[in-house]
Structure 1
Amino acid sequence: MTEHTFRLPDIGEGIAEAEIAVWLVKLGDIIREDDAICEVTTDKATVEIPAAVSGKVVWLGAEQGAVMAIGSDLIRIETDETATATAAPTIAAPDATPAPSEQAAKESKVAVETPPEPKPASPAAAVKKPAQAVPVSSPLQARGATGRPLAAPSVRGRAIGLGVDLRQVRGTGPAGRILHEDLESFVAHGGAAPSMSGKGPRLGVEDIRVTGVRRKIAERMALAKREIPHFSIIEEVEVEALEDLRAKLNARFGETRGRLTLLPLLLRALCEAVVDHPEINAHYDDAAGTITRHHGVHCGVATQTDSGLMVPVLRHTEALTLWEVAAGIKRLSQAARNRRVLPDELSGSTITVTSLGPLGAIATTPIINAPEVAIVGVNKIAVRPVWNGNTFVPRRMMNLSCSFDHRVVDGWVAAEFVQKLKTLLETPAMMFMELGND
């Protein structure tokens, strides 16, 4: 019998610690080599950790939700012939079923070595109250001539104020009359019945521990909001020409190159706008006191997933065609939602774009993705009346909501950058000169 201790491996450059997001095994489990034993979360990704050997789990290094340093003892696995033998039936081929006597011996051995866990007490039993404490309606409750429960007018008025249906209250007074004491006891034991609207109060409370990606998001957002002096500029953009162009491109190239959404066109405009405003496509290291301006545009694309908000990075967006941008966004967003995005695809962005699509509201105030110094938010397109000099005409309009780090970006520079984006989006022919032909 040999006990192997395995440490939390190095799962990425610069990663010093990771959080145990979820254990996929428990004490006493028989596992095989390369089985996933847990998922760990860093500030860049969620990664599965595989088992290095087959055997029995005899020790876990931390509770779920705990943060461990890289190199800490993660798990201990006991390996011997017995443990290997008990694992064998889980991987045997269907036609390799052991003989009955052999099978019985193995089942007996498993029963001895891994006794069943005691069943937890029934939730109902754990919270069961004495019978007399639970308010119930009585089928023998006294009724008046109108069929209503017997109660004094003051009791009825008080019940209305409390939202209590007196038909649910057991009366203890003469002839089953409901007294004030009966009403108080009913309410005290959580028996408030539906109000006059027919809807009862929602009394449930749920505590959810903040772990994994959700906790990392909370930490990063709190740090960014606390450390970065944000200011936002919201500008209205007419997208009639942009939407007409997108419709024509999809009609011409949709079958062969894929259909375009608004986002690839916005990223194309963004790549052009930062050429004249390199201070926007930058990182700020306040500890070192340095601003790093990037020539390449590595766009972070904020993506909502079941685990929370993730920002995969489309590298060198400036060098991609419109359809390559669209394909890259689709691939990265799907990988993020399926939890298959690689750690290096979640770092290194130089500017981030965030969009809520059709839920984008009128305006937003997005939080900067540090150490970047700007973020561009896209709001929903809506038809609004626009004055053309003679009359109001319907136009498709969209607001851009951009936030900036005021430590390194001045208000005038930010306003010029937003106006450049507006100009490019309202006259999209300026964004590129050729599209190529199929």
Structure 2
Amino acid sequence: MSVNDNFQQAKQQYEKWGVSVENAIEKLKNVSISIHCWQGDDIAGFEVNQQELSGGIDVTGNYPGKAVNPEQLRSDLEKALSLIPGTHKINLHAIYAETDGEFVDRNELEPKHFTNWVNWAKENNLGLDFNPTLFSHPKAADGLTLAHPDEEVRDFWIQHCIKSRRIGEYFGKELGQSCLTNIWIPDGYKDIPSDRLTPRKRLKESLDEIFAADVDETYNIDAVESKLFGIGSEAYVVGSHEFYMGYALKNNKLCLLDTGHYHPTEVVSNKISAMLLFSDKLALHVSRPVRWDSDHVVIFDDELREIGLEIVRNNAIDKVMIGLDFFDASINRVAAWTIGTRNMIKSLLYALLLPHDYLKQLQEEGNFTDRLALMEEFKTYPFGAVWDYYCEKMGVPVKEQWLDEIKKYEKAVLSHRE
């Protein structure tokens, strides 16, 4: 049977429950995923004085074909985007600036150092998001940045974050869509601290100074991101979830939830509805923690489906800014982007094909038997046939055909890189 034949059969099954498959597809077309650039080069960046990766971050594997310059990275992103349905954004870190061989420290970065990225984004109909890079730098060598006891070090990072917000504003103006500029810091201690409060006071004061700088919120949206622990900060992280949730709510900033930044028994899907009660918008970094914040490639697992369900069933597609954050150097990096992003989109389609109003009604009536039975039965409904139809309609490969394109690209391009 053809893709369309399978789709028509699936459509009939969903419509029996009042689910409009066409409406689901139309909604999905408008979803923009922020795809992180750093999967393509193992978070190396393009700084002239490139530093060894630090800040509790590690990338394992040595699969051949890593991008080593901006042109290669953009080429790899273009290949991945050609295999992913929809129109999306690219998420940059400050270390991806292009300075024409001149050393420019991070507190001196300007919009002009990202002109090539903006021109490329315009050519490819893409938005851009941004992140200041507060790791892999001599002034972050002791694991402290915005909460550092040394005022000079703190000021360096404050200025870097202010410059980053202005770069985000530049992206938004040039591309006609808001840039999410997200601040994450590695600050913390390896062992039990004697004072938890003072570093958090310093972090709060640093953030206050950063956000006091005049940046047009029409073009730049500010977010702050927490973490439970990191390598070298196992006992205490200054920017905890409670700290940033409180700061974001009090100061009208977005709280960004990273799926790997919580205790292994916590899930971000369970936090989305609670956060949306108090915030107009919410930001996500979707990753896959395996026992810890290991940033594995996103797969179509239970938690990813629950994230999709929470976004859709709460009518929050326009309220949740979805970004990805994983890095795996043990497999083809372009394939990693493709697998992870397609899975994120799949989770939203899966959620769009459920009769949420009816399932909510069953819960309100206390009919938990029917609720459980139907939620389980829908797991084997033919959503894959709708996904194949959507991919074909959007002009990207159906099923595993995209893997053939990756193999061709690896043979023609990646295998020739040193």
TM-score normalised by structure 2 residue count: 0.22
Higher RCO (CA-CA < 8 Å; seq separation 6+): 2
Say which structure is richer in strand. Answer: 1
Say which structure is richer in helix. Answer: 2
TM-score normalised by structure 1 residue count: 0.21
